[in-house]
């Protein structure tokens, strides 16, 4: 899946989570040990969601 968007800091809490459209790939980077990256998306009842993390070497 092609990368379609990048994280936007500050996204370190549920309140500041980045919105992600289903079916897209997003790139984020953990800048240090205190960086947390939150994302949010909307699903409907009965939907299933797969999250596939990829770590760049």
- The answer to whether 36 touches 12, Cβ cutoff 8 Å, is yes
Least distance to Ca ion from the beta carbon of 14, Å? 12
Q: What distance lies between CA 54 and its chain's CA centroid? A: 12
Q: Confirm or reject binding of residue 35 to Ca ion (CB under 5 A).
A: yes
Question: Among 5, 17, 20, 37, which residue interacts with Ca ion (rule: CB under 5 A)?
Answer: 37
Of 32, 33, 38, the residue nearest 10 (C-alpha): 38
Least distance to Ca ion from the beta carbon of 48, Å? 26
The footprint of Ca ion (CB under 5 A) covers: 11-12, 28, 35, 37
């Amino acid at each position: 899946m092609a990368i379609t968007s990048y994280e936007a800091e500050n996204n370190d809490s549920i309140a500041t989570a980045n919105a992600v459209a289903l079916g897209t790939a997003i790139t984020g980077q953990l800048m240090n040990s205190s960086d947390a990256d939150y994302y949010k998306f909307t699903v409907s009842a009965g939907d299933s969601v797969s999250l596939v993390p990829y770590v760049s070497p």
